[in-house]
Amino acid sequence: MTPLRLSINIDHVATLRNARAGTHPDPLDAARAVLEAGADGITVHLREDRRHIRDADVERLRAALDAPLNLEMAATEEMVAIAERLRPADCCIVPEGRHELTTEGGLDIPRAGAFLAEAVRRLSGAGIRVSIFIEADRAQVEAAVAIGAAAIEFHTGTYADAAPDARAPHLRRIAEAAPIAAAAGLACHAGHGLAYDSIAGIAAIPDISEVSIGHFLVGQAVFEGLPAAVRRMKALIAEAREARRP
Ligand code: PXP
């Protein structure tokens, strides 16, 4: 089975820093700490309102880190131009609502408008691997292939936010969509809302090659420290992967 990479979303380290309008805690220090603890990459979401990660953070992370940087962004001219200039390893295109607390669901690709395909073309042309954040749905997978995406990230929020005994149908949807995406040649990622008690179901899906986890781990850092939380998440991933080994 392919290894499952863990990319850590450090947006909320920036949220904490911004609460006092200062420089501590520094997202770059957090990135270094989680990579040292075994994370495979760093994810940041540069939002239109810059409520957490800011342009200078992305520039510093890009300049200082050897690990893959995944830039989550809306498909707007402003964001595409930033990504073309900074050339992160990956861009994950997400829907963005100004008043949402966090990304509320996957992008509806057929309804997203013509600029989405142009964004994918321009970002891919800059050597960036482009992923689209979608619901686990065959039509969305096919639409991602049609616009030339290299990867999709399945929205796991509905699964992870459900009560443990109500998660099965949501997990089944993701488990059924993953082989469809993989057969179409897409790299299969997953993320949103994942925590210690929900990671195993996702990690047991063989076609999923990367998960992106942020809020829970930054929250857990309050109790056990960020490196320890990353190590524990990595161990849970390895355990679930091992249990699925044929
Ligand atoms: N994937 C995407 C596309 C997201 O927008 C987010 C939240 O920024 C995440 C993953 C990580 O979600 P969480 O912070 O809930 O782990």
Q: Are 181 and 141 in contact (CB under 8 A)?
A: yes
Task: Kindly give the confidence (pLDDT) of every residue in the chain, 246 residues in length, as a single tens digit, with 9 standing for 90 and above.
Answer: 778 999 999 999 999 999 999 999 999 999 999 999 999 999 999 999 999 999 999 999 999 999 999 999 999 999 999 999 999 999 999 998 777 787 789 999 999 988 999 999 999 999 999 999 999 999 999 999 999 999 999 999 999 999 999 999 999 999 999 999 999 999 999 999 999 999 999 999 999 999 999 999 999 999 999 999 999 999 999 999 999 877
Look at residue 108 and give its three-state secondary structure. Answer: coil
pLDDT for the residue 104: 81
Q: Is 198 in the pocket of ligand 1 (CB under 6 A)?
A: no
In the chain, the number of structural domains is 1
Q: Is 206 in the pocket of ligand 1 (CB under 6 A)?
A: no
- Tell me which residue has tokens 């321009």: 122
Residues 6+ apart with CB under 8 A from 93: 72, 73, 74, 75, 107, 116, 119, 120, 130, 131, 132, 133
The CA 106 to ligand 1 mean position distance, Å, reads: 11
The 10 Å Cβ neighbour count of residue 237 is: 22
Q: Is 106 in the pocket of ligand 1 (CB under 6 A)?
A: no
Residues 6+ apart with CB under 8 A from 200: 236, 239, 240
pLDDT for the residue 11: 98
| Cα–Cα separations (whole angstroms), residue 139 to 104, 105, 190 | 19, 15, 17
Q: Is 131 in the pocket of ligand 1 (CB under 6 A)?
A: no
Pocket test for ligand 1, best of 215, 217, 218, 233 (most atoms within 8 A of CB): 215
CATH number of the domain encompassing residue 18: 3.20.20.70
The CA 212 to ligand 1 mean position distance, Å, reads: 6
- Tell me which residue has tokens 């999709």: 152
Show the domain range for 25. 5-243
The CA 43 to ligand 1 mean position distance, Å, reads: 9
**In terms of Cα–Cα distance, which of 2, 13, 45, 7 is closest to 225?**
13
> How do residues 59-93 score in pLDDT, each as one tens digit?
999 999 999 999 999 999 999 999 999 999 999 99
Q: Are 61 and 43 in contact (CB under 8 A)?
A: no
pLDDT for the residue 100: 79
Q: Is 133 in the pocket of ligand 1 (CB under 6 A)?
A: yes
pLDDT for the residue 234: 98
pTM strictly above 0.85: yes
